[in-house]
Amino acid sequence: MAQQKFDLVVIGSGPAGEAAAMSAAKKGMRVAVVEKRPLVGGNCTHKGTIPSKALRHSVKQLMRYNTQSVFRALGEPRRLTFPEVMKSVNKVISMQVEMHTSFYARNKVDLVIGDAKFIDPHKLRVQLPDGAVEILTSDKFVISTGSRPYRPEDVDFDHPRVYDSDTILDMQHTPQAIIIYGAGVIGCEYASIFAGLGIKVDLINTRSHLLEFLDDEISDALSYHLRYMGVTVRHREEYAKVVPSDSGVIMEMQSGKRIHADALLWCNGRSGNTETLGLDSIGLKANHRGQLSVDDHYCTEVENIYAVGDVIGWPSLASASYDQGRAVAAAIAGRGHRVVEDAPTGIYTLPEISSVGKTESELTAAKVPYEVGRALFKHTARAQISGERVGMLKILFHIDTHEILGIHCFGAEAAEIIHIGQAIMKQPAPNNTIDFFVNTTFNYPTMAEAYRSAALDGLNRVMRL
């Protein structure tokens, strides 16, 4: 039984774990990363962010080919099977794994493949794929094991027509109709993807509105465009029973409805990957969803054990996880700490959504005097050229100080466009105002010039008061 001593051991090689390991190594620590999968990258690379976004891109290209008249000279509209589209996704995953693997060698971080389990607060038992065992001793540990889809016990996920957001990537057929249970971010993204492939989608939402954390206008726009794509959105519904068979799946609802489709995709919640870590042996307990509580330094209740990424819950974004990983390495090294807040939201539906800052509802509830500036993409030359005319940019700002309070974008490249506004919002006063966009020259034609149009629209509203 081999034993090794480290300054820091990170469990999990997703965005949070990788960032913590690389940052700690650059600070002079001897670091090891334990990864359960045979390849690095975590759920982000293999099951979550990268595969779903690569899948979305391929579907978007297919939709463009099928809807723009310029391509008709090349032939009639085409349909692709789900496995055909997944081929391009697997190529992206391979490139990501190769790139991330090189980071560990370059930074001299030891990579151990195996199942990790705590012996005590300073010792970790790792069972290797060949059955051998290694004991890793370390001053500090970072748990970054991520999360997995929540699976209720009364749903048979072993049935070949029942999937969750991990197993859907292995689907070997193309259903004519699919039920998606859960209209959170993942459910809405897959609803637009499958609708883009020409598949009939029933999207079951247990709440009153789609993605209620969004600005109301953006949520309404998403609902409209999903329906425009052919998605049937069913609000305030909860399942009573799932009945799979060789010919399809019937979902019986508590409302009495019975919905039939060829397959079911379950997207209702996620659970932290903590059940096999032996937390009892170190006096640590996860909540009912397998998530760990941490303080402002990302430290758990055990003083030398930290946690970052999806395993601590909200905001469960790859972007925030990278920042949390770097922040925890700084905290461990005694170089200050940073709580990751105000991460921009990126939702890769078709069209995509991104936002940062406050919503109209939040500002109204707080009785903040604000005004709205809007720019519709259909009025911008770049959108007309690219054919991406659906969407808008919306800026919320204080009536008196013109301080930017929130930015919300719906449409093509929203997750890219949002960062321009985010950069200005983060500037110290008085440089964080909507006036920046009026006093700055933007390239023409670009999507970014929507900021100038939205700023002029908002300031004109203020002048009318």
Check residues 181 and 314 and name the one with the higher pLDDT. 181
pLDDT confidence of residue 2? 72
**Residue 40, marked binder:** yes
**Residue 183, marked binder:** yes
pLDDT confidence of residue 461? 93
Say whether pLDDT at 337 is over 90.
no
pLDDT confidence of residue 1? 58
**Residue 196, marked binder:** no
pLDDT band at residue 35, thresholds of 50, 70 and 90?
very high
Q: What percent of the chain has pLDDT over 90?
A: 88
pLDDT tens-digit readout, 127-152: 999 999 999 999 999 999 999 999 99
**Residue 41, marked binder:** yes
**Residue 185, marked binder:** yes
**Lookup: tokens for 24:** 């700690």
**Residue 188, marked binder:** yes
pLDDT confidence of residue 339? 67
pLDDT confidence of residue 343? 86
**Residue 36, marked binder:** yes
pLDDT confidence of residue 334? 87
The predicted model gives 71-87 an average pLDDT of 80
**Residue 43, marked binder:** yes
pLDDT confidence of residue 79? 80
**Residue 184, marked binder:** yes
Tell me the whole-structure pTM to 2 decimals: 0.93
**Residue 39, marked binder:** yes
Say whether pLDDT at 294 is over 70.
yes
Distance CA 199, CA 230 (A): 9
The predicted model gives 164-190 an average pLDDT of 96
The predicted model gives 207-230 an average pLDDT of 96
Helix axes 450-463, 414-425, angle to 10 degrees: 50
**Residue 409, marked binder:** no
272 three-class SS: strand
**Residue 38, marked binder:** yes
**Residue 283, marked binder:** no
Residue closest to 395 by CA, chosen among 421, 376, 367, 361: 421
Say whether pLDDT at 95 is over 80.
yes
**Residue 310, marked binder:** yes
Q: Do domains 2-148+271-332 and 351-463 have the same CATH topology?
A: no
Count how many residues are written for the chain.
465
pLDDT confidence of residue 186? 96
Distance CA 6, CA 146 (A): 22
Q: What percent of the chain has pLDDT over 70?
A: 98
Q: Which CATH number fits domain 162-268: 3.30.365.10, 3.50.50.60, 3.40.50.300, 2.60.40.10?
A: 3.50.50.60
Distance CA 373, CA 54 (A): 33
Average pLDDT over all residues of the chain: 94
**Residue 268, marked binder:** no
Topology annotation, domain 351-463 = Enolase-like; domain 1 (3.30.390)
Strand 2-11 and strand 404-411: the pairing is unpaired
Say whether pLDDT at 16 is over 70.
yes
Question: Looking up tokens 């425009």, which residue turns up?
Answer: 228
The predicted model gives 429-458 an average pLDDT of 95
Distance CA 439, CA 429 (A): 16
Domain ranges of the chain: 2-148+271-332, 162-268, 351-463
**Residue 146, marked binder:** yes
Say whether pLDDT at 303 is over 70.
yes
pLDDT confidence of residue 463? 85
**Residue 299, marked binder:** no
Write the burial class of residue 102 (CB in 10 Å: 0-12 exposed, 13-18 middle, 19+ buried): exposed
**Residue 53, marked binder:** yes
**Residue 42, marked binder:** yes
Residue 307: strand pairing partners: 143
**Residue 114, marked binder:** no
Q: What would the CATH number be for the domain defined by 2-148+271-332? A: 3.50.50.60
Q: What is the DSSP string of 64-77?
A: HHHH-GGGGGG-S-
Say whether pLDDT at 341 is over 80.
no
pLDDT tens-digit readout, 239-289: 999 999 999 999 999 999 999 999 999 999 999 999 999 999 999 999 999
